[in-house]
Amino acid sequence: MTTWIVTNRATGEVIHAYGADAPYPWDGMGFDTCNHIAEVVVPPTPPARELSKREWRLLFTDVERPLIDRFNATFETNANLTEPQRDAVRSGLEDYKAATVVNKDDPATAQVLGLYVMLGILDAARPAEILA
């Protein structure tokens, strides 16, 4: 069913709205004096999947951001990481520096969040919240 907005042709004033499969006239609201226009329903804008680096950073809490910054500055000497993990972090940081946006749908984004969970920087539920 469509919602029809009835406007007075002379004044442009909205005088009525009704639901029907097709527009129909009646006394005082005939097609000769009124427009019966289908309401256009604009779907809500989905959340952004690509974020600026600042927008991405602001998804983290005031507690998480310093922990992430500290990790990123010291990961080369982090005893909890294997060399392949260090290589992955190094590569991820280079990709981040080169990127203009962070895409929530990029598998690398989820991998970084998983690493932060593994290191105790993020709670296990946070990646799902951040990527929502």
pLDDT attached to residue 85: 87
Q: What's the mean pLDDT in 114-121?
A: 92
pLDDT attached to residue 24: 93
Interior CA angle at 102 toward 79 and 75, to 5°?
Answer: 10
In DSSP terms, which residues pair with 113 in a beta bridge? Answer: none
In DSSP terms, which residues pair with 7 in a beta bridge? Answer: 14, 35
> What digits encode the pLDDT tens for the residues 28-69?
999 999 999 999 999 988 888 999 999 999 999 999 999 999
For residue 127, what are the contacts with CB-CB under 8 A and spacing of at least 6? 110, 113, 114, 116, 117
Residue ranges of the alpha helices (H) in the chain?
53-57, 64-74, 83-98, 107-118, 126-131
Q: What's the mean pLDDT in 10-24?
A: 95
**38 vs 2: CA distance, rounded Å:** 7
**88: pLDDT strictly greater than 90:** no
Would you place residue 96 in the very low, low, confident or very high pLDDT band (cuts 50, 70, 90)?
confident
Q: What's the mean pLDDT in 21-33?
A: 93
- Is pTM beyond 0.75? Reply is no
47: alpha, beta or left? (left if phi > 0; alpha if psi -120 to 50)? beta
Burial readout 15-41 (b: 16 or more C-beta within 10 A, e: otherwise): eeeeeeeebeeeeebeeeebebeeeee
